Amino acid sequence: MSTIKVTTRKKSEFIDITADVGRALKQMGATDGFCLVFVPHTTAAVTINESADPDVAADILAALERIVPREAGYRHREGNAAAHIKATLVGASLWVAVEDGKPVLGTWQGIFFCEFDGPRSRQVHVRFVGDNG
């Protein structure tokens, strides 16, 4: 397993970690199989979406804010209930196919770390399952 360190700078943001996942796979000697990308945080998530146009990530964040506003009379006293809900909706993990040691993604796709309660220092775990050279 490899751990990627992510430093977020905003309350909510998407950070493209595709290259980081690729480096982690290379370090693990991955060839063909799958990798699990897992976020061990309750107010952050991981997803795959378009990475070519940064407006897509901005639109997703804006839509999530409309669906789950920061202030809505939540009972969770820590003040970050909306972040927990958004992380649950997006998800803490995903599986990505790996071929020739690289993530198999569509032309416009990227792997994003999703921060909903930043800024913070975070981690993303990458585990490869398959052939190792």
Give the pLDDT of residue 133. 60
Q: Going from the N-terminus, what domains does the chain have, and what CATH number goes with each?
A: 2-130 (2.60.120.460)
Burial of 95 from C-beta contacts in 10 A (0-12 / 13-18 / 19+) = exposed
* First and final C-alpha spacing in the chain: 16
Q: Are 90 and 96 in contact (CB under 8 A)?
A: no
Which regions of the chain are under pLDDT 70?
133
Quote the CA–CA distance of 2 and 14 in Å, as a whole number: 21
Helices 81-90 and 54-67 pack at an angle, to 10 degrees, of: 120
* Structure confidence at residue 13 (pLDDT): 98
Rounded to an integer, what distance in angstroms lies between the CA atom of residue 85 and that of residue 93?
A: 15
Element at 132 (helix H, strand E): none
Q: Which residue has the tokens 């993604």?
A: 105
Condensed to tens digits (0 to 9), the pLDDT of residues 52-71 reads: 999 999 999 999 999 999 88
Q: For the whole model, what pTM was predicted? A: 0.96
Q: What is the CA radius of gyration of the chain?
A: 15
**Residue 77's pLDDT is what?**
85
Which amino acid is present at 82?
A
Are the C-beta atoms of residues 132 and 29 closer than 8 Å to each other? yes
